Structure 1
Amino acid sequence: FDTAVGIATEAIDRLHTTAESHMRTLVVEVMGRHSGWIALHAGVAGGANVILIPERPFDIDQVCAWVRHRFEFHYAPIVVTAEGAVPKEGQMILKDRSLDEYGHVRLSGIGDWLAREISQRTGTDARTTVLGHVQRGGTPSAFDRWLATRFGLHAVDAVKDGAFGTMVALSGTRIVRVPLPGAEAKTRTVDPALYDEFGVFFG
């Protein structure tokens, strides 16, 4: 997670320069499926003007109003969207309806749709950058290396103790054992109150 956020943040930082030089909106689509954690963290860290997450269906008219507001100050906006973000109408924006090897719908396409809508509704140019699998590769951050090392140490201890049917997880700064049945049952989503904290930066 930390590595993916770092890569996405660096991409947003670079895109600010391009957006300013061409005075256009740049929509950055990041991974995360049905959780907006990467979009929220990278969007805030990268100084995005709009952040869209799956947990909060968005109003396209409001998004365009934020974009127009930024242009009033001669500032090119950056819109960061999670791949699973949806408009308030509730229709998922997908390139296709095919499934991956795990039976999940392939998410992607919201960035292209947003760029088209922003261009049509505001009369300004908008382009999309889809980070996709670029976020999943490369050199891990120091935090992720440190965390992987701790997970490995504690996993070996769990085997030694015969604690089968559990997984190791980070809780605060502690590594804990979590029962496997149920650990994967619920998607950990962004708390709406946390998302609302950053609303002051939108537009």
Structure 2
Amino acid sequence: MRIGVLTGGGDCPGLNAAIRAIVRRGVERHGHTLFGFRDGWRGVLENVHEELTIESTRGILPRGGTILGTSRTNPFKRDDGPERVRRTLAELELDGVVAIGGEDTLGAAERLWREHGVPVVGVPKTIDNDLSATDLTFGFDTAVSVATEAIDRLHTTAESHNRVMVVEVMGRHAGWIALHSGLAGGADVILIPERPFDIDEVCDLVRRRHARGRYFSIVVVAEGAQPREGTLVVREQGTDEFGHVRLGGISQILEREIEQRTGYETRSVVLGHTQRGGSPTAFDRVLATRFGIAAADAVAARRWGTMAALRGTAIELVPLADAVREPKLVPDDLYELAATFFG
């Protein structure tokens, strides 16, 4: 079979491990010929590709990013986008495409399969860990590790200067990174998109620590966290091709408000893209490899419209529609567990 591979959306650690596994399994077990599209769905629309071989994918297992490049291109925002996708597959005589991505990339893949019959298999990738139908996505463990290390380092400077440190981590709709890194790093307050926050309650938790003789605090906030309606104004900044508002800046707002309301010196730190850069952890390398092998096997079995997923300790195939129907959010009981350590 002749198969295309693409990586879409934000880059994350483990993408190259997945590409390597798809190629190795596809070539050696199934005799596939594989082509990598450049920059996600944009490469498919514009037919920009390169052949992927065992030789061309050697040594990429520990590398961050993606050798194929990526973009947030939405094929349904282009004139005749689905038809251009079908035309590219026909010109290259491809039997199908493996799409590695998150909610947007796989959402486009599912729609191309459901509405236009484009044969696709999905591989879940997102540091936010917000894809349904899989227990974990690769990239998440690395992002949490990076955020936790940053929080550990900020603890020492916060304590030395008696400061409140507000640490902004990624997480648009779901607060998995904030919750896990906050728990692991001993944060005193964790704010996530699923739970609109009251700035007065945040300040009360910080004051309570001071009353106990702890003159520094760590507040971890997901970029998508929002105040309760009518309490604070958060400005939005434009959207991407999938209609997502560009986030960032909630930590600076919290820095200003906490210092003004409590009188305690406060500083903010935005971890930003450092969370998705660099080498993947061992866990993410293994998970991405397992996903890639499952995708190559699914292609060989013509299990189109499915996605590799982690269920417990096993890798299974699930319908793409199940993965992108709704985001996987932090459950209330897990947040309440973390709240035990607030203040």
TM-score tier by shorter-chain length is over 0.9
Aligned amino acid, residue 270 of structure 2: V
Query: What is the CA distance between 1:108 and its match in structure 2?
Result: 1.0
Q: Which moved more, 1:97-106 or 1:170-179?
A: 97-106
Deviations 1:124-173, CA, capped at 9 Å, x for gaps: 11111001111001110010000011011111110111101111011111
Aligned CA distance change for structure 1 residues 177 and 92 (closer, same or farther; 3 Å): farther
* Of 44, 47, 50, the match for 2:189: 50
Q: Structure 2 CA distance, aligned partners of 1:74 and 1:168? A: 46
CA RMSD of the aligned region, Å? Answer: 1.3
Q: Structure 2 CA distance, aligned partners of 1:53 and 1:180? A: 26
| TM-score scaled by length of structure 2 | 0.57
Aligned amino acid, residue 185 of structure 1: R
Partner of 1:144: 284
Query: What is the CA distance between 1:78 and its match in structure 2?
Result: 0.1
Query: What is the CA distance between 1:197 and its match in structure 2?
Result: 1.2
Runs of 5+ unmatched residues, structure 2: 1-139
Q: Does residue 1:85 correspond to 2:225, yes or no?
A: yes
Q: Does residue 1:125 correspond to 2:291, yes or no?
A: no
Query: What is the CA distance between 1:181 and its match in structure 2?
Result: 2.5
Report the 3-state secondary structure (helix = DSSP H, G, I; strand = E; otherwise coil) of the residue aligned with 1:16.
helix
* Greater RCO structure (CA 8 Å; 6+ sep): 1
Aligned amino acid, residue 39 of structure 1: A
Report the 3-state secondary structure (helix = DSSP H, G, I; strand = E; otherwise coil) of the residue aligned with 1:28.
strand
Query: What is the CA distance between 1:92 and its match in structure 2?
Result: 6.8
Query: What is the CA distance between 1:60 and its match in structure 2?
Result: 0.8
Query: What is the CA distance between 1:8 and its match in structure 2?
Result: 0.3
Q: Does residue 1:14 correspond to 2:167, yes or no?
A: no
Question: Do the aligned partners of 1:26 and 1:128 also contact (CA within 8 Å) in 2?
Answer: yes
Q: Structure 2 CA distance, aligned partners of 1:139 and 1:97? A: 30
Partner of 1:37: 176
Q: Structure 2 CA distance, aligned partners of 1:149 and 1:7? A: 21
Q: Structure 2 CA distance, aligned partners of 1:92 and 1:108? A: 14
Question: Do the aligned partners of 1:86 and 1:92 also contact (CA within 8 Å) in 2?
Answer: no
Query: What is the CA distance between 1:74 and its match in structure 2?
Result: 3.2
Q: Which moved more, 1:155-164 or 1:96-105?
A: 96-105
Query: What is the CA distance between 1:176 and its match in structure 2?
Result: 1.0
Question: Do the aligned partners of 1:93 and 1:108 also contact (CA within 8 Å) in 2?
Answer: no
- Structure 1 runs of 4+ aligned residues shifted over 3 Å read none
Report the 3-state secondary structure (helix = DSSP H, G, I; strand = E; otherwise coil) of the residue aligned with 1:87.
coil
Q: Structure 2 CA distance, aligned partners of 1:45 and 1:66? A: 19
Aligned amino acid, residue 255 of structure 2: A
Q: Structure 1 CA distance, aligned partners of 2:170 and 2:334? A: 19
Q: Structure 2 CA distance, aligned partners of 1:66 and 1:181? A: 41
Query: What is the CA distance between 1:201 and its match in structure 2?
Result: 0.4
Q: Aligned pair count?
A: 202
- What percent identity do the matched residue pairs reach? 63
* Of 190, 199, 204, the match for 1:60: 199
